[in-house]
A and B are shown apart, each in its own frame.
Chain A
Amino acid sequence: MGKKLLLLLLFFVCVLVGMEKGYGYFLRRNVNLKSSYVATHRIDADVLFLGPCEPLWMMDPKVFQNATGLKGYNLATVHANFAENEAMLHLYLSHNKAPAFIFLYVTTESMDGAFNLFNSYSVVQFLDDEEIRAKIAEQDTGFSRWCRAPFMRYAYYSDFVNFNCLQGVRHALTNRQVPYFPDGFVRPHGIVWDGRFERFVNEFPKGRMFHWNAGEENHLHSLIGLAKSIGSRLVMYESPMLNDIKPFIINRQEIKEKIAKLAAGNEVPYWVFDTMKISNSRSNFFSILNTNDRGSAVFNEVFARYFLDWNKKKDTGREEKQLNE
């Protein structure tokens, strides 16, 4: 009985080790998985858009390219904090030349730490990379405790990994090389109002104080440092947010000031687009901070033109301009 159990355990561990190899291979072959795509394909963009879901669903590299002639790639990932942004940039740089410009989305939420996180599952197939492993160990302690056991790196977040792995199998079998979203931008087509505003107001009827998270600040510094070290020009920006929410973010102005100070201290431009007319109407948004198709179209044009203006002047430090587009 004891021997049989031991043999079963041994066999099971072998199966897990085999599965770990298989999952790793197929996840890296999944071109729809942004981390895999950028770490295995040459994109060589002039401009990168970094951040969480807001730029992912907002910043269209095609519009930017049409206006500026610069090739762009949207490297943003859902719910990502600065540490994940840095990990994505690290993976991108492992297979691509450094971009000339990096546009990083920074808002009050980004500095709080309660909204965006490090989603280990989005880069878990590169766990053997020292940089990624260190980031995971620091950001996701629960996961990093388990991930050394056979297959646990994929089992821990199976809900997020299984589908991507199956898609990877399909991509490997069909030798697919082009992702479903080739420039990384996910058009918010057909996404309807998500009710987050109502939930926020219900939860915080008197408004919410946002906290300045020292960890997020450190990672922002680190990201700025990485951009400088590769010779890329990093620009921080805040895209339009729904005006209705502003009274409920009690210390928004204070946090914005701190972000601006941080940007100035690092000689990084900080563009704020929160006075645009599109912020007045919900018809331009599907969530508090996410513009819909209509809002994004307007913002992308404005952003590209603003960039052209700025590129001519090459100012640094905080820049805030009344935009009435």
Chain B
Amino acid sequence: MQFISLSFLCFLLTTWVLWRFMPKERRWQLLLTASLFFIGFSNPGALLVLISSSLLTFYAGLSIQRFPNRRRSLYLFSLVLQVSCLFLLKYIESGNGGLYFLFREAGFREDVLLFAVGFSFYTLQHIAYLTDIYQKRSSPQTSALRFLLFSSFFAKFNAGPLEQTNRLIPQFNIPDQQPAGLLEGINRIALGVFKKMVLADRLAPIVAGIFNGSAAAGSAATLTGVCLFTVQLYFDFSAYSDIAIGSAKLFGIELTENFDRPFTAASVSEFWRKWHISLIRWFTTSIYFPVAFRFRKQKYLAVFLGIGITFLVSGLWHGIGKTFFIWSLLHAIYLSYESLTKQTRIAWKNRFSPIWYNGMSILLTFLLVCFSNLFFRSANLSEALRLLRQLASSPFGGKGPTEGFLAVLAGGGYQEALFNFFLTISLMFVFLFLEKRISTWIRSGSYAFLQLFFLLLLIFLAGVFKHADYFIYLQF
């Protein structure tokens, strides 16, 4: 079941109405049933994998605490099992051939092969849960069903945010929810739908024209397309998170914020503190800190290895391929450089005016991230190389600005296409400019109704309804 669909709307409404009338102490059971229905509705195979994985993790957690002498071997065994399954299923899911091809040849239907939906997200949560118990940072859960609800909670199941047990499970017992929370939830869902249908999906064809087009575009159009992909990715994924957070809010549950206006970051390290926050927190605590701690005596080596391994794993998590490897390598280089030049940059900062320095830093950070995302979006290395060649070519591909820039980005440059192009770009800039204010409105009561009205109106006026159910990050 996809977030932007009639079936999800019906599901959410029905679940909420039932939840309101359910005795408070039984509400978590309703949420569990609803979540299992949500997963099993379109993918019964995924339900089977989820229940097996959750129960395995739950009992592994209990065993780690119960058998202190075997805790290391139990932990490692569970970890290896989870990681192997993750790689196996992700590789099957990737559809690049290999196991996926073998399974398909063996007669498995395409929909059965999608049983790993959401797997990579809840597996990371399971690994973090076991690590916390192993390192004695928390105690294991005592209720298998509550743990299953933690793993399967529908709002965050497909693509996060990644949660921690000790933060989420206590919230399942919250007796009620405030009316303001309900309106905030609705507003947040509306904001997510707006970001997805009005911003991300309107940008999608412009970006696709550059990344999929075989006709050589000039450097100006290519650079614009590459930059717009980063913005599209942000709108698409943060829209998903907004709908997830808003849906949870309807039931009085607070999920972790996943984005914090990442395009205002003045360095790549700051960018990563504002982008996909829950995943980065997972990588930091589960990979970076342990590696850096192990090599803590060699100061620089600890940092470089920590960053390098963290991004290598992150690249692998996103996909198996040269383009993802280059993407992770680039970020490892950016962060290592920032780590090395911290003192020098502080000295520079004091030398220039803060507005100028911050402005330049934000622009440079954005361009560096966009450059890495060129590899993230490219289907293969040859596509990425084609785009690099285009970036090094003349600004308008040897034509005039109208033909070599506008016509390339705006689907041929016809009046109608130009109208849509400028509408999209204007909406994008207005939203980015007002983003902070809009977020405040969403959380406040005073403007909430007006806000909701305008969001809905814009969705109906400028939303792209076709393909609205497809979110980029669902593939990971």
Contacts and interface: CB of A to CB of B under 8 A. Distances in A.
A158 interface: yes
B453 A198 contact: no
B449 interface: yes
A141 interface: no
Contacts of A146: 465
Contact of A198 (B214, B423, B464): B214
A8 B452 contact: yes
A74 to B, nearest CB: 18
A15 B457 contact: yes
B419 A155 contact: no
Interface residues of A, number: 30
B462 A1 contact: no
A195 B449 contact: no
Scoring A1, A155, A159 by chain B CB atoms within 10 A of each residue's CB, the highest score goes to A159
Interface string B418-434: 01100100000000000
A155 B453 contact: no
B461 interface: yes
B423 A202 contact: no
Contact of A155 (B403, B452, B461): B461
A16 B465 CA distance: 16
B420 A159 contact: yes
Given A156-B466, A162-B423, A163-B416, A199 B214 contact: yes
Contact of B466 (A11, A142, A166): A142
A162 B423 CA distance: 10
B48 interface: no
A19 B461 CA distance: 10
Contact of B183 (A5, A19, A155, A162): A5
A151 interface: yes
Contacts of B10: none
Contacts of A166: 419
Contacts of B420: 159, 162-163
Contacts of A306: none
B179 interface: yes
A162 B461 contact: yes
Given A162-B423, A195-B214, A16 B460 contact: yes
B183 A1 contact: yes
Given A163-B419, A198-B214, A199-B214, A12 B456 contact: yes
A163 B456 contact: no
Contact of A12 (B183, B202, B415, B453): B453
Interface residues of B, number: 27
Interface string A18-37: 01000000000000000000
B306 interface: no
B466 A8 contact: no
A160 B416 contact: yes
B316 interface: no
Interface in B387-412: 403
A189 to B, nearest CB: 13
A4 interface: yes
B419 A158 contact: no
Contacts of B83: none
A198 B461 CA distance: 37
Interface in B422-475: 423, 449, 452-453, 456-457, 459-466
Contacts of A199: 214
B287 interface: no
Given A1-B179, A1-B182, A195-B215, A159 B464 contact: yes
A151 B464 contact: no
Nearest to A145: B6
Contact of B462 (A5, A12, A160, A162): A162
B449 A155 contact: no
A155 B460 contact: yes
Contacts of A155: 459-461, 463, 465
A168 B289 CA distance: 62
Contacts of B465: 146, 152, 155-158
A199 B209 CA distance: 13
Contacts of A163: 415-416, 419-420
Interface in A152-178: 152, 155-160, 162-164, 166
A146 B460 CA distance: 12
B463 A158 contact: yes
Contacts of B403: 192
A166 B422 CA distance: 15
Contacts of B459: 155
Given A1-B179, A1-B183, A8 B453 contact: yes
Given A8-B452, A11-B453, A152-B465, 9 more contacts: A1-B182, A5-B183, A12-B456, A16-B460, A155-B460, A155-B465, A162-B461, A163-B416, A163-B419
20 contacts: A1-B179, A4-B449, A5-B186, A8-B449, A8-B453, A12-B453, A12-B456, A15-B457, A146-B465, A151-B460, A155-B459, A155-B465, A156-B466, A158-B460, A158-B465, A162-B420, A163-B420, A164-B416, A198-B214, A199-B214
Closest 9 CB pairs of A and B: A1-B179, A163-B416, A195-B215, A155-B460, A163-B419, A156-B465, A159-B420, A199-B214, A8-B449
